[in-house]
Amino acid sequence: METITGQKLIDKNINPTAMRILVLNLLLKQASAISLSDIEKALLPADRITIYRTIKTFEEKGLVHLIDDGTGSPKYALCLDECDADEHHDMHVHFYCINCKETFCLPDSKIPDIALPQKFNSLEMNLLVKGVCDQCAE
């Protein structure tokens, strides 16, 4: 077991099983968000249900956040260290490249405060920008 990976799981109150360590190691290597099906393909012949439960546990404990990039296939990316089981603090812009079809977290691009009418209570907010990423623009 990699101690850094195992410790990251323990810090989020997640039992560091072999599958959880494999999934976290895969996520740590990603430059962009990844879909559940891509995680499954990368970890073949691992059990689909176990991978799904692992990702859901990671999401519930504040280790990953879900990104709806409009493709119909939710993507997952690692959260900021400040996220926990009670609250996600990933209020940043997500970018979908129409060329390479990758989805990126842009943590330095914060979502601006939105003034809602009275009696409207926001629970979560997403901002997705579509365009061409820096790699495809070259």
DSSP helix/strand/coil, 128: strand
Structure tokens at 116: 């809602």
Segment 86-115, tens digit of pLDDT: 777 778 999 999 999 999 999 999 888 889
Tell me whether residue 105 is annotated as binding. Answer: no
Is CATH 2.60.120.330 what the domain over 3-137 is classified as, yes or no? Answer: no
Distance CA 74, CA 100 (A): 16
DSSP track, 72-114: SS-EEEEPPTT--SS-----EEEEEETTT--EEEEEEEEPPP-
H or E, element range at 66: strand 64-67
Instruction: Break the chain into its structural domains and give their ranges.
Output: 3-137
Tell me whether residue 90 is annotated as binding. Answer: yes
Check if the beta carbon of residue 83 is closer than 8 Å to that of residue 62: yes
**Per-residue pLDDT, 1:** 44
Structure tokens at 42: 């990368």
Segment 31-79, tens digit of pLDDT: 999 999 999 999 999 999 999 999 999 999 999 999 999 999 999 999 9
Distance CA 135, CA 3 (A): 33
| Residue 106 main-chain phi, psi, to 5 deg | -120, 75
Tell me whether residue 83 is annotated as binding. Answer: no
Distance CA 29, CA 40 (A): 15
What is the model's pTM? 0.88
Tell me whether residue 100 is annotated as binding. Answer: yes
